[in-house]
Amino acid sequence: MTEKEIREAVKNKENYSSIVTYFKTLKILSETDLALLIDIIEEMSPEIYEHYRALQDIFREGIRTQLEGRDRAFSEPLAYAVKKGCATGTLLAEKYADCV
């Protein structure tokens, strides 16, 4: 799926499972993937909890992987993802306060 296809798919709840599958197939999420993922999480309906929670878990693990061994010098997409993750409640703001 392309970014455009993912952004279109999130508008229809029936597509949530394909979005989860797409992100699960990515073994390592790039910083740009994380920025896209947090945008998708924000647009999703939390009413479809199973898919919503799965994407949150994928996002959290992706952030942890990206932050391992970093000296806190963030690229723009990663800083955006962390800041928005905290704002949406997907990440604990207290835990990542020194990152944003």
Q: What is the pLDDT of residues 59-92, one digit of tens each?
A: 999 999 988 877 666 788 998 999 999 999 999 9
Of 15, 87, 82, 24, nearest to 7 by C-alpha is: 15
State the residue for tokens 């000296």. Answer: 71
Q: Look at the chain and report how many structural domains it folds into.
A: 1
Residue 63 has which token pair? Answer: 């952030």
Angle at 23 between CA 18 and CA 27, to 5 degrees: 140
* Domain assignment of residue 55, given as a range: 3-99
pLDDT tens-digit series, residues 4-56 = 898 888 888 898 999 999 999 998 999 999 999 999 999 998 898 999 999 99
